[in-house]
Amino acid sequence: MKKSFMFAVLLITAVLVSAPAVVAQGNVKSGPEPTTVRDSELEKDSLHNLEVARNYFNLKKAYVAALRRLEEVVASNPTFSKMDEVLFLAGESSKFLAENKGKQSAAQYVTLDENGTKRSPTPEEFKEMARGFLIRVVNDFPQSKYHKQAQMDLEMLGEPAAKP
């Protein structure tokens, strides 16, 4: 009986000692694909651009500046870990520019056409840009917290609901 009691005490002690180590590992539900290799400097630069774009978008309502920063991330780092947020904010910025909202005029967003002439997109072209960004959020990031809002925005822009 003493041996059984000592064994039980030893077993309980072992469980209690190892419990904090097991809890500290956490419960990871999602994350980057194990095969995705990311350049840490590029990731850091993209994160900086996203933070600046968030500031322009949320605090300053400067949608042209936000869109420029977000487009830079899309072009330079297609495997960015927060690409769903980048695409969502780019879509929202484009949508707001189409509606002529914000503190910056949509005319400040200048592109080059086929002839090399500088011009600003029309509201319909901004809507098309918004659709492109938001469709990518819906199709490529079904688990994203921006997925539902992107679907609703697409419906408002006249895009049919995504198929499950």
**pLDDT tens digits for 40-60?**
999 999 999 999 999 999 999
Q: What is the mean pLDDT of residues 31-36?
A: 57
* 118 phi/psi in degrees, rounded to 5: -75, 135
Domains and CATH numbers, the chain: 40-156 (1.25.40.10)
* 142 phi/psi in degrees, rounded to 5: -65, -20
Residue with the bigger pLDDT between 12 and 32: it is 12
Closest to 63 (Cα-Cα) out of 16, 125, 105, 21: 105
User: What's the mean per-residue pLDDT of the chain?
Assistant: 86
Task: Give me the pLDDT at residue 90, please.
Answer: 98
Looking only at Cα atoms, what is the longest distance across the chain? 93
Q: How many CB atoms lie within 10 A of CB 86?
A: 26
Range scoring the smallest mean pLDDT among 11-25, 49-63, 125-139, 140-154: 11-25
